[in-house]
Amino acid sequence: MAAGPAPLGGHPRAQKPHLSKMERVVVSMQDPDQGVKMQSQRLLITVIPHAVTGNDVVEWLIQKYCIAEDEALHLGTLLVQHGYLYPLRDPRRLLLRPDETPYRFQVRLNWEQTPYFWMSTLWPAAELDYAIYLAKKNIRKQGALVDHEKVGYHHPSPATPAESSQRNPSPTSGAHSPGSKLIQMHKHTHPIEGVSEGRWGVHPPELGVGKSFPLETFNHPQAHYDQLHRKINHTWDLVVMQAREQLRAAKQRRKGDRLVIACQEQTYWLVNRPPTKTVDFYKRRIECCRKALGRTRVKSSVCLEAYLKFSSQRGPHDPLLSGCLPSNPWVTDDDTYWAMNAPSVAVPTKLRVEQWAFSFRELLEDPVGRAHFMDFLQTEFSAENLSFWEACEELRHGGQAQVPALVDAVYQQFLAPGAARWVNIDSRTMERTLEGLGRPHRHVLDDAQLHIYMLMKKDSYPRFLKSDLYKDLLAEAVVPLETKRRVFPFMWKPRHSSPSLALLPTSTSGEPEAAAGSPGGGDGET
Amino acid sequence: MAADGLHENETLASLKSEAESLKGKLEEERAKLHDVELHQVAERVEALGQFVMKTRRTLKGHGNKVLCMDWCKDKRRIVSSSQEHAVTMPCTWVMACAYAPSGCAIACGGLDNKCSVYPLTFDKNENMAAKKKSVAMHTNYLSACSFTNSDMQILTASGDGTCALWDVESGQLLQSFHGHGADVLCLDLAPSETGNTFVSGGCDKKAMVWDMRSGQCVQAFETHESDINSVRYYPSGDAFASGSDDATCRLYDLRADREVAIYSKESIIFGASSVDFSLSGRLLFAGYNDYTINVWDVLKGSRVSILFGHENRVSTLRVSPDGTAFCSGSWDHTLRVWA
């Protein structure tokens, strides 16, 4: 078939990487040597060939991926919900049972072999959806399709349903022809939302509905268009019928909703057409690469060591890692921890005061820490440095309209000759800053601010940490006691005390890894 | 494609091949200084013990899928958005939301291509929609938004492939960031001393670090195999983690200028939608599209725990500002607080 205008960009975006991964799992499950034991399974008085039991599937998953039973059950259930396995007993409840329930594999992935029913008669739903979308556009706009859309869209001869239904052995749900199966599927979902699979509009696989889903069988754009053309030929009726149905349903919606949904649909198809790479795009990439080549890098060993140091230093300060004293409010419903660590508290906790020594940034970020640092600077007669830095922060993060006034205020107070709180900046930075003041913008004081920041960090900050002021703060700081039992137990609903530590020592209980609750949900409440 | 912007000897093809060869050279340069792997360095770190984390609160107010959430700095309040016609937020498909640092306002947006700021009021009679201020305008959906250090500026990421910085008061565009080749899905501000950079991730599989002042891309990383749904800085600011549809989370170091760790497991098949670090950076929490949350040991690279509980995909996940818990939002209409 002749190509028509060249397809845009590169390959169509792989829409669902998780589907191809699931397929790989299922393929290994069906491996004659390493796969799940397949044999005839009994179902009451019937013998079913080439089936597997739920138990075997779970065992196989546990072995292959080194996971615990709950995760294997979860993964197995996902495979069933996506249609790769189907249960031969109680088919409406799509989950994997860890017992002798027989299951069979649904999908034959190599499409050159005899395909199973839904692969041959229903090509990947995404392409069908796209065809319907184009048909709708055509009907609405009477043929005014965008160029690239015209390539994938044809108005061929009517369908030959007889031809397509021949290759359709009926599945467990008893659908009779591709058309009715699709309508049956879409009845369960909103007509627009079910089909227009916006990035944010995909419904989860619905239980009890043998829903098809888009599989990327063809990655090459040329094959894609050939396929669309060939397939549209014999399900043309269906496409037009769906398009008309959707447009009619759309008319019954409120205008606001129609607009939003139309946008959503349009966005989806725009998103799934890779953007044309322009000259600008490549030039920017080249620029970015060139700059990147010129940058200095640090050895991996140095960078990675830094993580170790950082994490070990912060470990005791991490409530989810080491617990917190007196207790984690979310676990015990006791607010004391929050009260003791309020932003402006009279006596900070020991951990908090220790944290001021970790980095200058963290000292400044804590209002209590910053206040004490200001007191310290006052004893050294350099408090104007911190005030200047604060004023610059206000400028940088303030509203656009306030910029000129703030710049002026800062200049008058800190930079002008003879200013009340003059800050000591090196002459070169001062010159550059004064120049920039002619056209004030929010970043005009960045250089000066950085200079003062580094001054405080290298000079005043280390002295602060060695000062008596800081040492006294450390000594006076509070270390809360762990809450072991409730003070007034009769006033509260009796609860077993929850450990304040998120971690239990490895040696003790043989609790499974996922003690965090069964799939039914683990509320810590009762 | 139009020939404008091309010099004499350039064609689109030649630009493309130049870009490719430079990219190859860059990879070589990056590899030269890579002398050790993270898990090797982490061998001498003590292993974590058994993990016990449970849902401590389940929040059920939403009538539809929860798409996004953010914590207030008071560590207790949460704002969340979902796919519904809420009375106060008259925009379906609110995909991004953020709390202002002061706790007095929230920003949100989505399919309306805008980011709007709503001042918060506890007066039930007041109509919040009336006080709404439209701040950002993109040409496609809004995927993420965040206030910078104050209530006055907002950073947004959009399906139109750009990020932008806005002045809240006037709605003025202060800076725009171009470079992604497809939708930008997420962003995070760097906790640095100078507070001038942020990272964004997009459908082009790239994570890019930007200078907020100049609008330039400072660093770019392209090792994921699919869309990057979430990016979050390591608490020191020297690295960031990303979660992607390729079912992996990865750690990128900014000083080494490369990917330094991959968090993946063969049994994890569905994409990671949202990631966040615990306070010390030792733990990485990631929410996945298969309804689970996996907890990773950042240093050793192993999975510490898997948390079940949600009944549909986990769409958003954030650790509280004081690190005492994390909250996950899901398409099952609920939010869960875990500790």
Q: Do A284 and B179 touch (CB under 8 A)?
A: yes
Question: Is B235 part of a structural domain of the chain?
Answer: yes
Taking CA–CA distances from B18, the nearest residue in chain A reads A286
Report the pLDDT value the prediction gives residue A274, as an integer from 0 to 100.
35
Report the pLDDT value the prediction gives residue A66, as an integer from 0 to 100.
93
Listed in order, strand segments (DSSP E) in A366-442 are none
A321 vs B19, B280, B325: nearest CB: B280
B312 vs A204, A281, A397: nearest CB: A204
**Minimum distance, in Å, between the CA of residue B125 and any CA atom of chain A:** 25
A467: pLDDT strictly greater than 70 = yes
Report the pLDDT value the prediction gives residue A151, as an integer from 0 to 100.
46
Report the pLDDT value the prediction gives residue A142, as an integer from 0 to 100.
62
Question: Is B312 part of a structural domain of the chain?
Answer: yes
Report the pLDDT value the prediction gives residue B11, as an integer from 0 to 100.
80
Query: What proportion of chain A, given as a percentage, has pLDDT over 70?
Result: 60
B104 close contact with A: CB closer than 8 A = no
Question: Is B5 part of a structural domain of the chain?
Answer: no
Question: Is B290 part of a structural domain of the chain?
Answer: yes
- With a CB-CB cutoff of 8 Å, which residues 144-203 of chain B face chain A? 148-150, 152-153, 159, 161, 167-170, 172, 174, 178-179, 181-183, 191-195, 203
Report the pLDDT value the prediction gives residue A3, as an integer from 0 to 100.
27
Which one has a higher pLDDT value, A365 or A188?
A365
Report the pLDDT value the prediction gives residue B149, as an integer from 0 to 100.
84
Contacts of A57 in chain B (CB under 8 A): none
Report the pLDDT value the prediction gives residue B206, as an integer from 0 to 100.
95
Question: Is B160 part of a structural domain of the chain?
Answer: yes
Q: Is residue A77 a contact partner of residue A96, using CB atoms and an 8 Å limit?
A: yes
| Best mutation target, B35, B37, B51, to test chain A (most A CBs within 10 A) | B51
pLDDT in tens, A253-269: 777 666 666 666 655 55
Long-range contacts of B196-202 (CB under 8 A, 24+ apart): B198/B155, B198/B163, B199/B231, B199/B233, B199/B240, B200/B157, B200/B163, B200/B231, B201/B228, B201/B229, B201/B230, B201/B231, B201/B242, B201/B244, B202/B157, B202/B161, B202/B227, B202/B228
**Minimum distance, in Å, between the CA of residue A380 and any CA atom of chain B:** 23
Report the pLDDT value the prediction gives residue A127, as an integer from 0 to 100.
59
CATH topology for A342-476? Regulator of G-protein Signalling 4; domain 2 (1.10.167)
| Best mutation target, B56, B158, B160, to test chain A (most A CBs within 10 A) | B56
pLDDT in tens, A344-399: 888 999 999 999 999 999 999 999 999 999 999 999 999 999 999 999 999 988 88
pLDDT in tens, A303-317: 999 999 999 999 999
B313 close contact with A: CB closer than 8 A = yes
Contacts of A521 in chain B (CB under 8 A): 55, 58, 308-309
Distance between CA atoms of residues A338 and B334, nearest Å: 25
**Minimum distance, in Å, between the CA of residue B39 and any CA atom of chain A:** 9
B246 close contact with A: CB closer than 8 A = yes
Confidence of residue A94 (pLDDT cuts 50, 70, 90): confident
Contacts of B76 in chain A (CB under 8 A): 338
Distance between CA atoms of residues A393 and B293, nearest Å: 38
pLDDT in tens, B315-324: 999 999 999 9
Confidence of residue A49 (pLDDT cuts 50, 70, 90): confident
DSSP A505: -
Question: Is B4 part of a structural domain of the chain?
Answer: no
**Minimum distance, in Å, between the CA of residue B275 and any CA atom of chain A:** 15
Confidence of residue A113 (pLDDT cuts 50, 70, 90): very low
pLDDT in tens, A11-48: 333 446 888 888 888 888 888 888 888 887 777 777 77
Distance between CA atoms of residues A375 and B295, nearest Å: 42
Task: Tell me the range of A450-454, B48-52, B64-68 where mean pLDDT is highest.
Answer: A450-454
Both tokens assigned to B251: 């750690």
**Averaged over A417-430, what is the pLDDT?**
90
Q: Do B5 and A283 touch (CB under 8 A)?
A: yes
Which CATH number belongs to the domain containing residue B57 in this structure?
Answer: 2.130.10.10
Report the pLDDT value the prediction gives residue A60, as an integer from 0 to 100.
94
Report the pLDDT value the prediction gives residue A198, as an integer from 0 to 100.
28
Which one has a higher pLDDT value, B277 or B66?
B277
Both tokens assigned to A105: 């594999």
Contacts of B257 in chain A (CB under 8 A): 292, 295, 297
Report the pLDDT value the prediction gives residue A231, as an integer from 0 to 100.
54
Q: Do A310 and B235 touch (CB under 8 A)?
A: yes
Domain hosting B42: range is 15-338
Task: Tell me the range of B118-122, B181-185, B230-234 where mean pLDDT is highest.
Answer: B230-234
Listed in order, strand segments (DSSP E) in A273-376 are none
State the amino acid at position A457 in one-letter form.
Answer: K
A123: pLDDT strictly greater than 80 = no
Report the pLDDT value the prediction gives residue A399, as an integer from 0 to 100.
86
Which one has a higher pLDDT value, B68 or A200?
B68
- How many domains are there within chain B? 1
Lowest mean pLDDT segment, chosen from A270-274, A425-429, A510-514, B176-180: A510-514
B39 close contact with A: CB closer than 8 A = no
B21 close contact with A: CB closer than 8 A = no
Was domain A18-105 assigned CATH 3.30.70.20?
A: no
Q: Do B53 and A263 touch (CB under 8 A)?
A: no
Q: Do A200 and B83 touch (CB under 8 A)?
A: yes
A8: pLDDT strictly greater than 50 = no
Lowest mean pLDDT segment, chosen from A99-108, A147-156, B89-98: A147-156
**Minimum distance, in Å, between the CA of residue B65 and any CA atom of chain A:** 10
Report the pLDDT value the prediction gives residue A360, as an integer from 0 to 100.
95
Which one has a higher pLDDT value, A277 or A453?
A453
Contacts of B289 in chain A (CB under 8 A): 18
Report the pLDDT value the prediction gives residue A523, as an integer from 0 to 100.
38
B75 vs A314, A338, A361: nearest CB: A338
Contacts of A321 in chain B (CB under 8 A): 48, 278-280, 282-283
Report the pLDDT value the prediction gives residue A370, as an integer from 0 to 100.
95
Question: Is B324 part of a structural domain of the chain?
Answer: yes
Rounded alpha-carbon distances, angstroms, from residue B316 to A50, A326, B58, B332, B336: 41, 29, 15, 12, 11
Which one has a higher pLDDT value, A406 or B93?
A406
Question: Is B1 part of a structural domain of the chain?
Answer: no
**Averaged over B17-28, what is the pLDDT?**
90
Report the pLDDT value the prediction gives residue A153, as an integer from 0 to 100.
44
Burial class (CB in 10 A: 0-12, 13-18, 19+), B103: middle
B133 close contact with A: CB closer than 8 A = no
Distance between CA atoms of residues B158 and B143, nearest Å: 5
B118 close contact with A: CB closer than 8 A = no
∠ CA A86-A87-A89, nearest 5°, is 150
**Domain ranges, ordered by start, for chain A:** 18-105, 124-140+220-295, 342-476
| Best mutation target, A22, A219, A311, A525, to test chain B (most B CBs within 10 A) | A311
Taking CA–CA distances from B45, the nearest residue in chain A reads A308
Q: Please choose, from the candidates B180, B189, B135, the residue with its C-alpha nearest in 3D space to the C-alpha of residue B160.
A: B180
Which one has a higher pLDDT value, B171 or A273?
B171
A124-140+220-295, which class in CATH? mainly alpha
**Considering chain A, what is the average pLDDT of its residues?**
69
Both tokens assigned to B76: 């207790």
Contacts of B170 in chain A (CB under 8 A): 399-401
Report the pLDDT value the prediction gives residue B68, as an integer from 0 to 100.
86
Q: Which residues contact A230 (CB under 8 A, 6 or more apart)?
A: none
Task: Tell me the range of A151-155, B99-103, B226-230 where mean pLDDT is highest.
Answer: B226-230
Report the pLDDT value the prediction gives residue B202, as an integer from 0 to 100.
95
